[in-house]
Copies of this chain bind each other. A is one copy, B any other.
Amino acid sequence: MTLSTDPTMAETLLADRVRTARSSEVRKVFMASQKRGVISFAGGAPYLGVLPFDRLAASARRIMAGSGAVSLQYGASQGIPELRRHVCALMELEGISADPDDIVVTSGSQQALDLAARILVNPGDVIFAEAPSYAGGLAVFTGYQAEIIHVPVDGEGLVPEELEQAIAAVQTTGRTAKGLYTIPNFQNPRGINLSAERRHQIGEICRRNGLLIFEDNPYGLLAFDGNTRRAIQPDFPDITMYFGSFSKIIAPGLRLGWVLPPAGLYSHFVNASETTLLNPPVYNQQLLCDYLDNPAWKATLDESRGLYEKKGAALVEALEQAMPAGTSWIHPTGGFYLWLTLPEGVDTGSLVFECIERGVAYVPGTAFYADGRGSNELRLSFCLPTIDEIRKGGAILGQLFREATEAGTACAAATDDRPRNHPGRPSKTS
């Protein structure tokens, strides 16, 4: 971290797992994008304006006044039973049949992912993941020194034949593959759904090869057509650990998610959660239960979904008007994200700070690959900004990338085999 100066005494003692971790370029983007007035397509943040804050405020008061000595005390490592019951009811919508005693409530599904990697990953183990995939998920696995092997995707999600080939390639090297990390619904960052047929094929491939499936599903209830897909877990419960989150469907600030582990792993999750955190906050769990007790929460979710659909459409319309020729994107049908591919040679990583200077933030594509790919790709998150901001932001993006494309075309070699980060290409970054 301090290449230009001598390391401090403490730095000389760092563990290997930290030395091999790549530093977070994404954080720099987030920090820069927090400047006042910047339209941010960067973070995966939901729009919270639809929440009934007065009702939540009344609940918060009632719970604290009525059960404060429980709410503010230590609690069960696996979470309170009431919330685990709500989790089971939610998962039923996706075909999952689970008992509350099978659930571990966590401080966001991020903690659940971290616990899974902690429990299962030895240094050097292989984890397969979609190409591209959630940056925070990749960071979890690489944090335990796993090697991520990306598997190609198409319009129906992860390609089963490609997964089989990737597994075979790893097997010939004698290394240990532990599992597949997948986001089947409205995948982060591409927004694509894994088709029902492929869910089955991929489950069979994993089972046949002794691989676990890390099924990460924050966006399953955010289909714009309201059609909730069947999860992988119910058909492959012996090999699937299912990760759920309240962050995208209700609010991230309570920091509550959960994991449904396969047989044999439950006590390991509880142990690991206790060691790393003791327990998720009881008050937050009570507040969430109270919110879920009132069926009105589903109407609020419908409202969010309707709003996100409109925002996604507004973003597509803005991009259609503004982006240079040779740009492509996937039309969102749910979830939070639009994935955008620019012409080869446009480096979204070097352009992002210039873009923020002009008032718009996005996440460069390289954040979503463990292997350095994605330099001409980027992710736009359309849920948080207003429709006006989306239109304005889309126009600014278009202007920037038109300029970059023209500059790139002007100096690019006639052949296509130039390096992606051509040092001679004029850069728009200051």
Residues of A within 8 A of B (CB): 1-2, 7-18, 21, 23-24, 27, 43, 45, 48-49, 51, 53-54, 56-58, 60-65, 68-69, 71-75, 77, 107-108, 110-111, 114, 118-122, 125, 136, 139-140, 143-144, 178-179, 210, 212, 238-239, 241, 247, 251-255, 261-265, 267-268, 270-272, 274-284
B61 pairs with A48, CB closer than 8 A: no
Q: Which of B73, B251, B278 contacts A136 (CB 8 A)?
A: B278
In the complex, the chain B residue whose C-beta lies closest to that of A49 is B69
Task: Output the least CB separation between A121 and chain B (Å).
Answer: 6
Give the residue name and chain of the B residue nearest to A45 (CB): B74
What are 7 inter-chain pairs, A to B, with CB distance below 8 A? A9-B264, A48-B68, A57-B61, A72-B254, A110-B277, A253-B281, A253-B282
Contact B119 A9 (CB under 8 A): no
Does the CB pair A262–B9 fall under 8 Å? yes
Cross-chain contact of A252 among B63, B73, B239, B261 (Cβ < 8 A): B73
Report Cα–Cα, A253/B268, bound state, in Å: 23
Q: Which of B51, B75, B254 contacts A283 (CB 8 A)?
A: B254
Are B114 and A276 in contact, with the CB atoms below 8 A?
yes
8 tightest Cβ-Cβ pairs between the two chains A and B: A8-B264, A72-B253, A53-B68, A61-B61, A72-B251, A57-B65, A57-B64, A11-B264
- In the complex with contacts A114-B276, A120-B14, A68-B57 CB distance below 8 A: yes
B277, A111: Cβ atoms closer than 8 Å: yes
Q: Which residue of B lies closest to A263 (CB)?
A: B8
Cβ contact of A10, chosen from B16, B251, B263, cutoff 8 A: B263
Cβ contact within 8 Å between B65 and A27: no
| Copies of this polypeptide in the complex | 2
Whole-angstrom distance from the CB of A98 to the nearest CB of chain B? 15
User: Would you call A268 and B14 a contact (CB within 8 A)?
Assistant: yes
Contact of A15 among B62, B118, B283 (CB under 8 A): B118
| Contact yes or no, A253 B73, CB < 8 A | yes
Closest chain-B Cβ to A52's Cβ sits at a distance in Å of 9
A276 and B14 contacting across the interface, CB-CB below 8 Å:
no
B68 engages A120 (CB within 8 Å): no
- Contact indicator A119/B255 (Cβ below 8 Å): no
A18-B268, A107-B107 are known; give 10 further A-B pairs, CB within 8 A.
A13-B212, A23-B271, A45-B74, A48-B68, A57-B60, A60-B61, A71-B253, A73-B253, A139-B274, A276-B276
Give the Cβ gap from A101 to chain B, nearest Cβ, in Å: 13
A281 near B284 with CB under 8 A, answer: yes
Residues of B contacting A111 with CB < 8 Å?
A: 276-277
Which residues in B have their C-beta under 8 angstroms from that of A271?
21, 23-24, 27
A395 to chain B, nearest CB (A): 26
Q: How far is the CA of A21 from the CA of B270 in the complex (A)?
A: 13
Which of B56, B63, B68 contacts A68 (CB under 8 A)?
B56
| Choice from B265, B275, B282 contacting A140 with Cβ under 8 Å | B275
Q: Chain B nearest CB: distance from A23 CB in Å?
A: 7
Q: A15-B118, A64-B57 are in contact. Are A10 and B264 (CB under 8 A)?
A: yes
Cα–Cα, bound, A57→B65 (Å): 5
Flag if B252 contacts A212 (CB, 8 Å).
Answer: no
Give Cα A62–Cα B72 distance, bound, in whole angstroms: 18
Q: CB-CB < 8 A to A68: which residues of B? A: 48, 51, 53, 56-57
Is the pair A15, B263 in contact by a Cβ cutoff of 8 Å? no
Kindly list chain B residues whose C-beta atoms are within 8 Å of the C-beta of A71: 253
In the bound complex, residues from chain B placing their C-beta under 8 Å from that of A11 are: 264-265
Contact of B64 with A56 in the complex, beta carbons under 8 Å: yes
- Which residues of the partner chain B approach A251 to less than 8 Å between Cβ atoms? 72-73
> Which chain B residues border A212 with CB–CB below 8 Å?
10, 13
A54 partner residues in chain B, CB cutoff 8 A: 65
Bound CA–CA A178/B11 (angstroms)? 11
8 Å CB contact of A264 from B1, B120, B210, B261: B1
